[in-house]
Structure 1
Amino acid sequence: MSVFTLGLNHTTAPLDLRGRFALSLEQLAPTLQTLRQRLVQPERPHGPEAAILSTCNRTELYCAAGPQLVRPALEWLAGVGGIGVDALSDHAYVLEDGAAARHAFRVASGLDSMVLGEPQILGQMKLAVREADAAGTLGSTLHQLFQRSFAVAKEVRTSTEIGAHSISMAAAAVRLAAQLFEDLREIRVLFVGAGEMIELAATHFAARAPARMAVANRTLERGEKLATRFGAEAIRLADLPARLHEFDVVVSCTASSLPLIGLGAVERALKLRRHRPMFMVDLAVPRDIEPEVARLDDIYLYTVDDLAAIVQNGGEKRQAAVAQAEAIIETGVQSFVHWLGERGSVPLIQALQAQVDAWRGNELARAQKLLARGARVEDVLDMLSKGLAQKMLHGTLAELHAADPAQREQLAATVSRLFLRGSAAAPLRGAPGDAL
């Protein structure tokens, strides 16, 4: 199952054109029914899942359907507005799957509004979902999309309205790092600590998709919990001096009364790095990093006071809040895309389970007949197990034998992953007959 969003808003269409597509709350349900009738397909006789969000600033159609329905939906929407398809295409946008989810999350959070952060849009979206549900066009996929949108919007509004100063400093740290390193996607980031400030900093850096992240914390369990959230590695605080050289960026904020990262450890790290620069942020009070570290060449150390001096005005705080919101949204998008991908595998999983059940039933029936004839239990069990194994491997072995050389190595690697998981056996190479 795929999802797509088709619409136009205040950034893509002038007011008069948007007015052509404005729908009242009472019009949503009958309009959705008309859309469904237009987009009916043989494999989906009841039509696709659909919802419409219509405000003074936007009219958007959300559909859970394949991409082949985008063009018919565009033609239908053009008809609603009484304009040609080409004229609508000049002002409309089409977003699919992850991009559609990102857009929905941004809309719900007020980041796509004419007035940044306005709260009315969330209520309007909830009403649109309620009307789609009442019209019978919502469905489980769009239900997931919108419920996740509401959850993300709640987190954005909570996180970006409370602790704005902390959020601003985390955003400033990322921007400073971006000035030092050409591409943040190539850097390795270490977070020392697992508290609120580190969580905020990790959220901002994660939004830039660095090559690698790690969390070092005195309590390994808490560090692992934070690391898991961001796809990072958890390391022991005791291992920090030996591994410091592996990271380009170090952000530290713990409750330690004494510095955790000393001058000697940083000097050794620089030597191992062949003096490639390191960007270090000490957000702790008292310090986590000895102040003498700032005197080293190739070290760029910023303290909490340094960042506070950078973050001085409301504009900075607002930009930081937006950056934090975008990071929260991105996490939500990845979660939804993962869910959508898993949902797409359901038919295959069901078919596999049905096939295995059929094989099992056939072999069990044959075994019961043999037992009824007086066959030895040991022989019947042996035959049963071999029969099941042969049936389950037959298709795979046939594909290996039939594959051409260019496909065989990739297929063999896949088979090894599926059937030799946890085994020391290597992927099959050469002719399948040689390995079997």
Structure 2
Amino acid sequence: MAAVWTLGINHNTAPLDVRGRFAFAMDRIAPHLEALRRAHPVAQANALPEAAIVSTCNRTEIYCAGDEMAMDHTLDWLAQSGGVSVQELRHHTYRLQGPEAARHAFRVASGLDSMVLGEAQILGQLKDAVRAADEAGALGTTLSQLFQRSFAVAKEVRTSTEIGAHSISMAAAGVRLASNLFEDLSRIKVLFVGAGEMIELCATHWAARQPASMAIANRTLERGEKLASRFGAEALLLSDLPNRLHEFDAIISCTASSLPLIGLGAVERALKRRKHRPLFMVDLAVPRDIEPEVQRLSDVYLYTVDDLAQVVQTAQANRQAAVAQAEAIVDAGVQSFMHWVDQRETVPLIQQLQAQADDWRQAELARARKALAKGEDMDAVLEALSRGLTQKMLHGAMAELRAGDASTRERAMHAIRHFFLRNSR
């Protein structure tokens, strides 16, 4: 039976710039999964291991159902993908097997392992990762069960506890930080870079504060215009940024770019045109959208995804009772999943037993039909059929009882009493 295990890095084990090296774009998951599975030491054309890759700004995790020894090969593959040494990556990774791997998956889905305790976005990201793995043909029965059960556990946690109540999201935390810098948010101009789910969430929070103006810059104008129309915002192209950056007081960026979109030089030029009025910047992307050197500029207040995590911690202290409830739900889910895994090991034996019994049944039926065709008495034929089945069923047990070895007979006696005589008095 394939073992379930996971190997990963997250916001607790690796800094932002390390996590950025291992950010897998969703539209590239399929080839990455193919390469990962082919790197498995016992991979064969028709027997590749089950695998899924979960990649968000807070974590990159690989889930597998296969040989536990393959974790070392997976670590090598991941290190090569991120361009770091195996030794360096090993320092930041965690390895979980069996029930601990299942518990981790359930806690991730439930928002218990997130920067923002109880945040709901991770569940959608996890479902996207599972869908991508399924479409790539990388999921099998075991991982499918693991993830479907993780979704069920997450649903129960959210409906049965208050784990997500009053949580401050990353988007809301950005607005809170800006309110500490600007006296009146209704007088500032806000620029959003990107048009994905996180930017949409951020724009929703900012729109509630009714800033003076909002603009959305995106690589493709069509998608930017679609989101901008929801908020009465202006749509820009990313290529417009160098000439427009100085116009905005707050810049929130979150794209899937593998390289920074806003560099030190562009920000310096913008500050000069702004006559050094303060510039508030939030970089929610992993890898970074804004060069980290921008942080050194005296009139810039730049916050990363890790910085915002510190803001949201204050909202989490009063939810320990909800956490305890959620952990209990997770534990029950783990026990149920591991019971299913254990039962899976007996499936081949059950199939063999059913096949053997069916062979006996078919043989005795064939013999009975021949006897009836010859005109033999029906009662006698039925008696012979039942006796033939009984003898076939008991043959193995009787042979063990007649064995010369005392220990063999003792084991046989115990098994026979358990399987055949459990209802006798």
TM-score by length of 2: 0.58
Give unpaired runs (5+ residues) of structure 1.
165-312, 425-436
Distance 1:40 1:360 in 2: 44
Alignment match, 1:62: 63
CA contact (8 A) 2:52 2:129 kept: yes
Alignment match, 1:159: 160
Q: Using the TM superposition, give the Cα deviation of residue 80 of structure 1 relative to its aligned residue in structure 2, in angstroms.
A: 2.3
Alignment match, 1:416: 417
| Paired residues, number | 276
| Pairing 1:310-389 to 2, within 5 Å after superposition | 317-389=318-390
Alignment match, 1:6: 7
Distance 1:74 1:405 in 2: 51
Q: Using the TM superposition, give the Cα deviation of residue 325 of structure 1 relative to its aligned residue in structure 2, in angstroms.
A: 0.5
Comparing 112-121 with 128-137, greater Cα deviation is found at 112-121
Aligned partner of residue 331 in structure 1, secondary structure: helix
Q: Using the TM superposition, give the Cα deviation of residue 46 of structure 1 relative to its aligned residue in structure 2, in angstroms.
A: 4.3
Alignment match, 1:28: 29
Distance 2:49 2:8 in 1: 17
| 1:281-328 superposed Cα distances (whole Å, 9 cap, x missing partner) | xxxxxxxxxxxxxxxxxxxxxxxxxxxxxxxx9877411111011001
| 1:163-216 superposed Cα distances (whole Å, 9 cap, x missing partner) | 99xxxxxxxxxxxxxxxxxxxxxxxxxxxxxxxxxxxxxxxxxxxxxxxxxxxx
Q: Using the TM superposition, give the Cα deviation of residue 44 of structure 1 relative to its aligned residue in structure 2, in angstroms.
A: 7.4
Give unpaired runs (5+ residues) of structure 2.
166-313
Distance 1:403 1:125 in 2: 59
Alignment match, 1:52: 53
Distance 1:333 1:351 in 2: 29
TM-score by length of 1: 0.57
Structure ranking higher on relative contact order (CA contacts 8 Å, 6+ apart): 2
Distance 1:333 1:391, change over 3 A: same
**1:143 alignment partner AA:** S
Distance 1:90 1:378 in 2: 77
Distance 1:156 1:42, change over 3 A: closer
Distance 2:45 2:342 in 1: 20
Distance 1:398 1:62, change over 3 A: farther
Distance 2:155 2:163 in 1: 12
Aligned partner of residue 54 in structure 2, secondary structure: strand
Aligned partner of residue 161 in structure 1, secondary structure: coil
| 1:38-66 superposed Cα distances (whole Å, 9 cap, x missing partner) | 33857871412211101222111111224
CA contact (8 A) 2:7 2:62 kept: yes
After superposition, the CA RMSD in angstroms is 2.9
Alignment match, 1:148: 149
Q: Using the TM superposition, give the Cα deviation of residue 402 of structure 1 relative to its aligned residue in structure 2, in angstroms.
A: 4.5
**1:28 alignment partner AA:** I
Distance 1:35 1:43, change over 3 A: closer
**1:63 alignment partner AA:** C
Q: Using the TM superposition, give the Cα deviation of residue 386 of structure 1 relative to its aligned residue in structure 2, in angstroms.
A: 2.1
Distance 1:37 1:416 in 2: 49
Distance 1:405 1:93 in 2: 50
Distance 1:64 1:77 in 2: 17
**1:419 alignment partner AA:** F
| 1:355-414 superposed Cα distances (whole Å, 9 cap, x missing partner) | 111111122222333333443333332222222222222223334555955565455333
The answer to whether structure 1 residue 17 and structure 2 residue 12 are counterparts is: no
Q: Percent sequence identity over matched residues?
A: 61
**2:334 alignment partner AA:** V
CA contact (8 A) 1:40 1:48 kept: no
Distance 1:59 1:410, change over 3 A: farther
Q: Which runs of 4+ in 1 moved over 6 A?
A: 313-316
| Pairing 1:118-133 to 2, within 5 Å after superposition | 118-133=119-134
Distance 1:12 1:85 in 2: 15
